[in-house]
Amino acid sequence: MTQNQPPTIDDVAKVAGVSTATISRAINDPDKVAKATRDRINAAIDELGYTPHFGARAMASSRFKTVGAVIPTMANAMFASGMQAFQEALSEAGVTMLVATTGYDPEAELRQIRALMTQGASGLMLIGTERPEATRRFLNLRNVPHVLTWAAGPADEGVFAGFDNRRAAKSMAEHVLAMGHRKIAMIAGISAGNDRVAERIAGVRAAIEACDGAELVALAESPYLLQNAGDAFDEVWAAKPTAIIGGSDVLGAGAVVRARARGVSVPGDVSVTGFDDIGLSLVSAPALTTLRVPQIEMGRAAAEILLAQLAGGTPKSAIFETEIVERASLAPPRS
């Protein structure tokens, strides 16, 4: 079972008895070749199992595009359906997606960006706004079309397909305050090098500061894992909050699980909220009051923006609204 050389356009040309140019036309612009010839060519392609060589194509023409996405990790449902939508939209446009992950390491992002560009990515989808100076410089130097997602910002920071994390978190905190809670705790993600987390924290702080008598009694930062969220629950619970705002559904759900294990009733003893509205929030018991992030719309918009940029346009940011999804984990505090 030796791996034979992939067939080239020359092989197809030989079998079909035409020139390579005709093969190329039959593939890229079928109308320009006679039906009979086309049929012969297609037969030859099938017989040989020919697939054009992307490298050669990319080199000979600039029509063939690839885009890259650099995300923290695929193992977080927070990005899953957005990425799926992104890739579907690209696929419809005949553009392939390359994915690379950083594991939430900001230094890793530039390496991955370079790797993707080497691979032929002519556009990039990046998460968030905050990045090391070296990364900004590179992006700027090479002037790579790129779209920023899962966040929002002023136009001079780039083109976004996302939402305002601070405003969203603020609205959630206001909602919690409106229920009568005054002693609030927050379990956030790790804020270092993660602007989305930092913004969510800032939003919660802003709402609390604006509310008389309200206080952020505890703030824990935790990786986006159920287990860690449980530990964070233990930590903030010591401060006796009446409500815990989770920086993500994983964090909220993890807190609920640990609360249950500790015999702390939700929302009886403490209310808990989530963020993102992934499946986890529905399965949690009680179901998590959370904030819906329009992942699918965002992913699709990111693809459209990138495609428009690649086509030479200068599309505007698409900023989405988030909405609070009321479920059972948030209730007024015990009086």
Partner DNA sequence: TTGAAAGCGCTAACAT
Partner DNA sequence: ATGTTAGCGCTTTCAA
Q: Which residues bind DNA (CB under 7 A)?
A: 5, 8-10, 17-25, 27-28, 32-34, 36-37, 50, 52-53, 56-57, 59-61, 63
Residue 63: name its binding partner from a copy of itself, DNA, none (Cβ under 5 to 8 Å by kind). Answer: DNA
Report yes or no: 216 and 205 within 8 Å, Cβ to Cβ: yes
Shortest Cβ distance from residue 120 to DNA (Å)? 11
Residue of 21, 43, 75, 238 interacting with a copy of itself (CB under 8 A): 75
87 makes contact with a copy of itself (CB under 8 A) = yes
CB of 44 vs DNA, minimal distance in Å? 12
- Is position 284 an interface residue for a copy of itself (rule: CB under 8 A)? yes
Query: What is the distance, to the nearest Å, from the Cα of residue 120 to the centroid of all Cα atoms in its chain?
Result: 21
Retrieve residue 296's tokens.
């699918």
Q: Residues 31, 34, 37, CA angle at the centre, nearest 5°? A: 120
Distance, in Å, from the CA atom of 89 to the CA atom of 83, rounded to the nearest integer, reads: 10
Note whether 188 and 233 are within 8 A (CB). no
| Cβ atoms of 59 and 275 closer than 8 Å | no
162 lines the binding site for a copy of itself (CB under 8 A): no
Q: Which stretch binds a copy of itself (CB under 8 A): 75-83, 124-132, 152-160, 237-245?
A: 75-83
Asked if residue 98 binds a copy of itself (CB under 8 A), the reply is yes
Q: Is 57 in the site for a copy of itself (CB under 8 A)?
A: yes
d(CA 128, CA 195): 6
Query: Tokens in use for 163?
Result: 């939402």
Q: Which helix (H) or strand (E) holds 163?
A: strand 159-163
Position 141 contacts a copy of itself (CB under 8 A): yes
- The interface partner of residue 10, options being a copy of itself, DNA, none and the CB cut-off 5 to 8 Å by kind, is DNA
The pairing of beta strand 66-71 with beta strand 96-101: parallel
C-beta separation of 144 from 177 below 8 A: no
Report the interface residues with a copy of itself, using CB under 8 A: 1-4, 6, 48-49, 51-59, 66, 73-77, 80-81, 83-84, 87-88, 91, 96-101, 103, 114-120, 138, 141-145, 226, 250, 253-254, 256-257, 260, 279-280, 282-285, 287, 314
